[in-house]
Amino acid sequence: MGSCKNQEGNRQNCLWVHGPIIVGAGPSGNLISACLKNNGVRSLILERSDCIASLRKQRTYDRLKLHLPKQFCELPLFGFPENFPKYPTKHQFISYMESYASHFNIEPSFEQVVKRAEFDSTIGFWRVQTQDCEYISWWIIVATGENVEPAIPEIPGIERFDGPVVFTSLYTSGSDFRNQSVLLVGCGNSGMEVSLDLCKHNATPHMTNFDAPSGNNPIALDFTGMGKGEAWVNGQSIGRYWPTNNAPSSGCTNSCNYRGPYNSNKCLKNCGKPSQQLYHVPRSWLQSSGNTLVLFEEMGGDPTQLSFATKQIGSLCSHVSESHPQPVDMWSTDQMTGKKSGPMLSLECPFPNQIISSIKFASFGTPRGTCGSFSHSQCSDNGALSII
Ligand SMILES: Cc1cc2nc3c(=O)[nH]c(=O)nc-3n(C[C@H](O)[C@H](O)[C@H](O)COP(=O)(O)OP(=O)(O)OC[C@H]3O[C@@H](n4cnc5c(N)ncnc54)[C@H](O)[C@@H]3O)c2cc1C
């Protein structure tokens, strides 16, 4: 098919290709070329690296095996050798690809980086531009793969991280991370296998990828088990977390009453326990699946204990009138004190661990509306809410 360099080694500007141009000498490019040849059609493969199956050869880790049984991965017209195991190793797959190419006499033009390809309607041909020359053909087939380019998430502040940051295509073996803590972003095939590789080399991997909790209730991350640090969800910071910071160990009371003027000693809770474990994650930041959580832990925690909590928000309403009888258990108190107490109203959450976080409406009078949409009516005291 020829190359861009002529016999004197000078560059030619333009090369006519008798048959389709195929971009990429991975498995797809090779099998297309083989199938075309099998039907008597010549083709030319342009490959930017210096070898076939460059993804496997140059951009995969040492322990890689096929993730699918070999019968689902062999290329047409020329199968895997009989003696290959069910899951061939990286090196077996490479040797298979090399035999495949030589069996069909496929000789790609290496180190040709396709920079542009456009159909020239004035001449009715494709012009395919590499750094060396322009190839011209009736047809172009693009087989440049789906995972050649690294997809690295944006992580604000990553430049302040002292350790190595490596994309899997540059990861070779867990031996480089022996006895270290490694945060792995992504739980796909590569993430899972690299995680295993790290374990085998005595490193401690932490993996982060999650589906959004179902429903529409607000979501919080429960940082129990972590120390102190900062967390990002899909590149957005949810802020500093510090669940190891405990609330003061004295001053807590069992009874909690916010009535009257506020002061910071009212309703002290969690005495001696973490002052905050739940950190809000806005739902609008999440996709249904494939979300990424990145943690920069400063004190050393256990991310396996991280979990999601969803908050159920509901409304409680109640009303009482002067003519309501008071609860039966108050009758004896009245007899003892001689004083008649008025009717009582109490609100209670339906589930344990739920709390009433705010009171939105109170009326001393005759309010209008229903629970969730009450409003004051003609006869009312607008100051009722402020005394509750
Ligand atoms: C960890 C891992 C495990 C996998 N396990 C399996 C498995 O078990 N079974 C299975 O069937 N598949 C598996 N795959 C997927 C498989 O590797 C890919 O589907 C396969 O490599 C795709 O082949 P391809 O030819 O389409 O692309 P690639 O192999 O990516 O080849 C594309 C080629 O195009 C070249 N190229 C790109 N851009 C240009 C350009 N501008 N100019 C010139 N050349 C260019 C690249 O250099 C490359 O050689 C796995 C992948 C990974 C990462």
Per-residue pLDDT of 62-73, as tens digits, reads 999 998 899 999
Average confidence (pLDDT) over 163-185:
91
Average pLDDT, the chain: 84
In the prediction, which pLDDT does 4 show? 58
Average confidence (pLDDT) over 246-251:
80
Ligand 1 atom nearest the C-alpha of 112 is 43
Mutation pick for ligand 1 pocket among 58, 67, 172 (CB with most ligand atoms within 8 Å): 67
Q: Which of 78, 108, 142 is the C-terminal boundary of a domain? A: 142
Is there a domain that residue 151 lies in? Answer: no
State if residue 49 touches ligand 1 by the CB under 6 angstroms criterion.
Answer: yes
Exposure class string for 323-342: b at 16+ Cβ within 10 A, else e: eeeeeeeeeeeeeeeeeeee
Is there a domain that residue 220 lies in? Answer: yes
What CATH number corresponds to the domain at position 297?
A: 2.60.120
Q: Can you give the pTM of this predicted structure?
A: 0.62
- Residues 185 and 289 both lie in one domain: yes
Alpha helix segments (H runs only) across 41-183? 54-58, 90-103
Q: Give 181's strand partners.
A: 204
Is there a domain that residue 48 lies in? Answer: yes
pLDDT tens-digit profile of 336-381?
A: 666 666 677 777 776 666 778 788 888 888 888 877 788 888 777 7
Is there a domain that residue 153 lies in? Answer: no
C-alpha 22 – ligand 1 centre gap (Å) = 14
Chain center to CA of 289: 7
State how far the alpha carbon of 56 is from the alpha carbons of 46, 47, 97, 98, in Å.
18, 14, 10, 12
DSSP state of 122: T
- Residues 176 and 254 both lie in one domain: yes
What percent of the chain is modeled with pLDDT above 90? 38
State if residue 67 touches ligand 1 by the CB under 6 angstroms criterion.
Answer: yes
First to last CA, the chain: 88
C-alpha 49 – ligand 1 centre gap (Å) = 13
In the prediction, which pLDDT does 185 show? 84
State if residue 306 touches ligand 1 by the CB under 6 angstroms criterion.
Answer: no
Is there a domain that residue 35 lies in? Answer: yes
- Residues 82 and 65 both lie in one domain: yes
State which amino acid sits at residue 70.
K
Q: Residue 7 — pLDDT band, cuts 50, 70, 90? A: very low
The answer, yes or no, to whether residue 116 has pLDDT greater than 90, is yes
Query: How many domains does the chain contain in total?
Result: 3
C-alpha 24 – ligand 1 centre gap (Å) = 9
Average confidence (pLDDT) over 168-178:
93
The H or E element containing residue 333 is helix 331-337
C-alpha 252 – ligand 1 centre gap (Å) = 61
Is there a domain that residue 3 lies in? Answer: no
- Residues 298 and 164 both lie in one domain: yes
Q: What are phi and psi of 183, to 5 degrees?
A: -95, 120
Minimal CA–CA distance to 301: which of 190, 199, 221? 221
Ligand 1 atom nearest the C-alpha of 113 is 42
Ligand 1 atom nearest the C-alpha of 67 is 8
Residue nearest to atom 22 of ligand 1 (CA): 145
Signed CA dihedral, 125, 128, 129, 135: sign only: negative
C-alpha 168 – ligand 1 centre gap (Å) = 14
- Residues 261 and 369 both lie in one domain: no
- Residues 111 and 176 both lie in one domain: no
Mutation pick for ligand 1 pocket among 46, 148, 169, 196 (CB with most ligand atoms within 8 Å): 148
Mutation pick for ligand 1 pocket among 4, 63, 147 (CB with most ligand atoms within 8 Å): 147
**Is the distance from CB of 156 to CB of 35 less than 8 angstroms?**
no
More confident residue, 304 or 135: 135
- Residues 178 and 243 both lie in one domain: yes
**For residues 196 and 241, what is the distance between their CA atoms, to the nearest angstrom?**
29
- Residues 296 and 328 both lie in one domain: no
Residue nearest to atom 38 of ligand 1 (CA): 144
**For residues 23 and 46, what is the distance between their CA atoms, to the nearest angstrom?**
5
- Residues 216 and 113 both lie in one domain: no
The answer, yes or no, to whether residue 94 has pLDDT greater than 90, is yes
Is there a domain that residue 148 lies in? Answer: no
User: Residue 173's domain spans which residues?
Assistant: 158-310
Is there a domain that residue 65 lies in? Answer: yes
Q: Which of 310, 338, 354 is the C-terminal boundary of a domain? A: 310
Angle at 181 between CA 159 and CA 291, to 5 degrees: 65
State if residue 382 touches ligand 1 by the CB under 6 angstroms criterion.
Answer: no
In the prediction, which pLDDT does 96 show? 98
Each as own residue / partner, the long-range contacts of residues 4-7 (CB below 8 Å, 24 or more positions apart, any chain) are 4/109, 4/112, 4/130, 4/132, 4/133, 4/135, 5/132
Q: Which of 266, 295, 310 is the C-terminal boundary of a domain? A: 310
- Residues 291 and 351 both lie in one domain: no
What CATH number corresponds to the domain at position 137?
A: 3.50.50.60
**For residues 202 and 46, what is the distance between their CA atoms, to the nearest angstrom?**
42
- Residues 119 and 255 both lie in one domain: no
State if residue 86 touches ligand 1 by the CB under 6 angstroms criterion.
Answer: no
In the prediction, which pLDDT does 335 show? 66
- Residues 164 and 304 both lie in one domain: yes
